Copies of this chain bind each other. A is one copy, B any other.
Amino acid sequence: MSTVRLLVLGSILRRGVSHGYAVLRDMTTWRVDTWTNVKPGSIYHALDKLESQGMIEAAASGAGAKLGPSRKEYSVTKQGKAEFFRLLEAALVSPDILQFSAGVAFMEWLPRNEVIALLEQRRSVLDASLRLLKSLPVDERPSEPSRHPELVGIWIGYVESEAASTERILANVQAGRYDFKSERLEAE
């Protein structure tokens, strides 16, 4: 759920004012559907919930030239922006690839230094998890699934791959790559 919330808040933030269908379109054009499953229902549910929590609010309906059925436009409140950053920070530390992906999608909204710190933290979470997995006893002829070498191997492979991705991104961010919001010279 927190992944959907992050994506929805991020999508609205980028556009300033937005509505459910536009969020849905973003998810499709961003190919988020490759890695997460964001069906219409989830998005509209997230919007309702975020609104009821005061994270977003119905936008001053001035409304830009619409062409179709009527829509509900929202903008992110101060509270919602805080929630966005909370979720973003959590995502960048999460060992879960889905959550992490959503975090990476919006990492440029945070200051570069903070991203570096979060990625280092993720790396150490993954390292700990790797140590645990490698300490697990396995049997060639396992009496239970938990001792199956291939099952443990799958998860070691996954965690190692996540660790490598984290390392790679960390290096690129440290090398000054990417266009972080806080470093951008706004024209105007």
Q: Which of B141, B153, B162, B178 contacts A168 (CB 8 A)?
A: B153
Q: Which of B29, B148, B177, B179 contacts A104 (CB 8 A)?
A: B148
A34 vs B155: C-alpha distance when bound (angstroms): 9
Copies in the complex: 2
**B150 close to A169 (CB less than 8 A):** yes
Q: Which of B29, B148, B154 contacts A146 (CB 8 A)?
A: B29
| 0/1 string, A152-188, CB within 8 A of B gives 1 | 0111011011101100110010000111000000000
A residues whose Cβ falls under 8 Å from a Cβ of B: 29-32, 34-35, 97, 100-101, 104-106, 136, 140-141, 144-146, 148, 150-151, 153-155, 157-158, 160-162, 164-165, 168-169, 172, 177-179
> What are 9 residue pairs bridging A and B, where the CB atoms are less than 8 Å apart in the complex?
A31-B136, A32-B145, A97-B154, A101-B154, A105-B151, A150-B165, A150-B169, A157-B168, A158-B162
